[in-house]
Amino acid sequence: MGASFGLALKALNGKPEVKHTFSITGSDKTPAKIKAAAKLSALDAEQANIEESVRGADIVIVTAPFGDVEAIYELIGPALKPGAVVIDCAPIKTPSVAWAKKYFRRNEAGENVAYLVGLTPVINPEYLGEAWEETAAARPDLFTNGVFFIVPAADCPPEAVRLVSDLSDLLNVKVHFSDPAEHDGMVASTEGLPALLQLAYFRSLVNSSSWQDSQWLSNPAFFLATHQLAEGDPMALGAAAYHNRQNLIAKVDAVMEALARLREALTIDDADLMSEYYDDAMKKYADWQSARARNRWSTEPEAIEKSELRGSMNLFGPLMPSFGGRKKKDKK
């Protein structure tokens, strides 16, 4: 995701309607990832030292595994310049808000002078079925036709929120605003629970007496149901589950209730009952697929459009000048 942000921002450079030039420095604890991003031309500069990579930066985008986020904020906090905005792409936002308050640069009055705004991209529908984690899989259009969930803390300055909103405008991405607690509850359903179910499913199989034989019959259905165990980061997945555990417990209870109902249905001598359950679920799934392909939802107000959001942003207070108000030579 980090390299995709780099590619998307660099693609803006030179466009007549964009009055900014973006100069991008990349940093990662794994040098090979920086090299891979540079090979894709997603970076202008490479920096192994993470503190130096953010020094003087106006915008910092953090796309690290969740297990590394607190340590990163502790390192970069003192190096952030006053007014810097950190865009936090961690899967859950409540812990990041607390870490930013703890570690980010402060003035003499003890107030933070660098700011964190959470952001969760809802990616281009064309890439929805791809679960690549490698840097080489970055795409300049990863966010095209998607949505940015902007998740500011309650006390985040409106200027910082507007900066992220303007950035999404430049990338031609719709936005939706959410508070950290609401966001983390939703993510428990769509990110945390699937990972937890993969863990439970595989543990139930590998610890069974039939595993030695049944593993031979592993085909796409099995792989798709367990792929995060091959591609995920165990520390990141574990940390995200721990920090969002209250939300996850509620989701697990709901799944256990659904499984209990299905188990009961299997005990009934009715050849059509399970087919009816599948038919009902598949129709609703098709409705979701259709809406996701267009990122249009029956429960979402039309105000999600950027053109209409501009008139409602004053809900956050006075607005800062937009990106368009700067001269071409300025760099961010």
Q: Calculate the CA 10 to chain-centre distance.
A: 20
Residues in the chain: 332
Tens digits of residue pLDDT in 35-59? 999 999 999 999 999 999 999 999 9
Q: From the options 3.40.50.1100, 1.10.3720.10, 3.20.20.70, 1.10.3660.10, give the CATH code of 183-267.
A: 1.10.3660.10
Identity (one letter) of the amino acid at 282? Answer: M
Tens digits of residue pLDDT in 214-242? 999 999 999 999 998 988 899 999 999 99
Q: Give the position of tokens 């555990």.
A: 245
Q: 142 with 149: CB under 8 angstroms?
A: no
Q: 86 with 60: CB under 8 angstroms?
A: yes
- CATH for 2-178+301-325? 3.40.50.720
Where does the chain have alpha helices with state H? 2-10, 31-39, 50-54, 66-76, 94-103, 158-170, 180-187, 193-206, 211-214, 220-226, 228-231, 234-243, 245-266, 273-294, 306-309
Q: Calculate the CA 262 to chain-centre distance.
A: 32
- Which two three-digit tokens encode residue 235? 């520390």
pLDDT of residue 130: 81
| Domain ranges (residues) in the chain | 2-178+301-325, 183-267
Q: 321 with 153: CB under 8 angstroms?
A: no
Whether 331 shows a pLDDT value over 60: the answer reads: no
pLDDT of residue 133: 76
Mean pLDDT of the 8-17 span: 90
Q: 73 with 239: CB under 8 angstroms?
A: no
**What pLDDT band is residue 123 in, cutting at 50, 70 and 90?**
very high
**What pLDDT band is residue 300 in, cutting at 50, 70 and 90?**
low
Instruction: Please state, rounded to an integer, the average pLDDT across all residues of the chain.
Output: 88
Tens digits of residue pLDDT in 258-274? 999 999 999 999 999 99
Cα angle 61-66-70, degrees, rounded to a multiple of 5: 80
Tens digits of residue pLDDT in 247-260? 999 999 999 999 99
